[in-house]
Amino acid sequence: MKCNTEEEIKKVKDFYITVLGLKIIREWPDGFMIDTGNGFIEVFTNADGEHRLGAIRHFALLTDDVDMVAKKVKEAGYEVFLEPNDKVIMSDPEYPIRMAFCFGPLGEQIEFFKER
């Protein structure tokens, strides 16, 4: 992700660190890395970003409680555009999940899911 302003950097840190409870594991003058538990979100702070959907439509974060995370996201003032719901992904074998989607501080789409 790329941030355009100090305000965006603050919003990104607040959302991912304060609201979602993730941790910054590495910082450097032009960016930082957020640990998702099984990967990293790399945030660059030295260039203008483009706020549009690109090749990556969304990313998914595994959680123990989709409903609680969606509630925290809404309480923090972010839009949950797909409320928590149950779904079965018709793969082989079928993959039952609970899921919700929100917009993050830079307009990114984030899915929260839990295996059922």
**Domain residue spans in the chain?**
6-115
| pTM of the predicted model as reported, rounded to 2 decimal places | 0.86
The residue whose two tokens read 């899921």 is 99
Distance CA 109, CA 56 (A): 9
* pLDDT tens digits for range 59-95: 999 999 999 999 999 999 999 999 999 999 999 899 9
More confident residue, 24 or 44: 24
Dihedral pair phi/psi, residue 55, rounded to 5°? -65, -30
Q: What is 6-115's CATH number?
A: 3.10.180.10
* pLDDT tens digits for range 2-16: 887 889 899 999 999
